[in-house]
């Protein structure tokens, strides 16, 4: 799904990667927001980790077991990287600016971190091809990432979670802050939204507050990246923001 920039000048492209079981029809609030910010936004559909793939994995299994198998499938991530590369190439052909931002939620956040250079247990090595990264509901060390997986990431990264954003298997939302704590300083942001659930970030449930705060901090983060002033601490009511 393509969201063309509302402004006459295209600031850059934003590729949005959905979570396991999602599709290109989701995350409309992110696509619309990036369009408002002047970006050409593309929400990519990942067939190999979309709804049908999830249904196939959970057939006859506990839901969490099926999801765990999918989100640790190297082939599913390789397919995602190919989807993203094609979408990025097309979008940049439509935009004067070559600046590119990669945004992902849940399995999409793992995709973002791998693309940014995080070490992982799936033997996937990607080169950083984006100016900035936004990981919504990122994973801590566990099934996908070893400890200290994020220490070599140099590009600007915004990470977002919520106090009800539990990890697969019921782990606390606080495990999602591990990547921020592990990264070296240089334009790394962490936003924690009070009361936000995992699916609120996907635009489901009573998600308007989460959507609004997510959009606000993304705007501030991208402005900071553009002005090379990432250290400026901002305040967004309803959200705790850490910057380093």
Query: CB neighbours of 116 closer than 8 A, spacing ≥ 6?
Result: 102, 128, 130, 133, 153, 155, 157
Partners of 3 in the β-ladder: 41
Reported as a pLDDT band with limits 50, 70 and 90, residue 71 is confident
Reported as a pLDDT band with limits 50, 70 and 90, residue 70 is confident
Distance CA(231)–CA(67), nearest Å, equals: 37
Reported as a pLDDT band with limits 50, 70 and 90, residue 20 is confident
CATH entry 3.40.50.1820 includes domain 2-243: yes
Ranges of each domain in the chain = 2-243
Distance CA(156)–CA(130), nearest Å, equals: 10
Are 39 and 10 in contact by the 8 Å Cβ rule? The answer is yes
Distance CA(238)–CA(37), nearest Å, equals: 22
Are 163 and 200 in contact by the 8 Å Cβ rule? The answer is no
Characterize 1-24 residue by residue with b for buried, 16 or more Cβ atoms within 10 angstroms of its Cβ, and e for exposed: eebebeeeebbbbbbbbbbbbbbb
Reported as a pLDDT band with limits 50, 70 and 90, residue 31 is very high
pLDDT of residue 136 exceeding 70: yes
Distance CA(213)–CA(230), nearest Å, equals: 18
Task: State the average pLDDT over residues 42-57.
Answer: 73
> Percent of the chain scored above 70 by pLDDT?
91
pLDDT of residue 68 exceeding 90: no
Q: What is the pLDDT of residue 171?
A: 84
**Chain CA centroid to CA 84, Å:** 13
pLDDT (tens digit per residue) in 112-125? 999 999 999 999 98
Q: What is the pLDDT of residue 50?
A: 56
């Amino acid at each position: 799904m393509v969201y063309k920039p509302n402004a006459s000048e295209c600031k850059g492209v934003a590729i949005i990667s959905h979570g396991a079981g999602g599709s290109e029809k989701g995350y409309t609030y992110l696509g619309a927001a990036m369009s408002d910010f002047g970006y050409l936004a593309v929400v990519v559909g990942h067939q190999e980790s979309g709804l049908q793939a999830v249904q196939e994995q959970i057939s006859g299994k506990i839901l969490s077991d099926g999801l765990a198998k999918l989100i640790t499938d190297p082939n599913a991530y390789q397919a995602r990287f190919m989807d993203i590369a094609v979408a990025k190439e097309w979008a940049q052909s439509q935009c004067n600016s070559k600046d590119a931002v990669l945004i992902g939620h849940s399995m999409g956040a793992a995709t973002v971190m791998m693309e940014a250079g995080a070490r992982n247990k799936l033997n996937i090595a990607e080169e950083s091809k984006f100016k900035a990264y936004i990981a919504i509901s990122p994973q801590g060390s566990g099934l996908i990432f070893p400890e200290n997986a994020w220490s070599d990431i140099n590009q600007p990264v915004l990470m977002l979670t919520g106090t009800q954003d539990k990890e697969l298997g019921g782990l606390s939302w606080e495990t999602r802050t591990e990547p921020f704590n592990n990264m070296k300083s240089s334009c790394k942001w962490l936003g924690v939204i009070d009361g936000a659930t995992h699916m609120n970030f996907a635009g489901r449930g009573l998600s308007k507050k989460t959507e609004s705060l997510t959009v606000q901090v993304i705007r501030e983060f991208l402005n900071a990246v553009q002005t090379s002033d990432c250290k400026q601490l901002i305040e967004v009511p309803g959200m705790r923001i850490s910057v380093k």
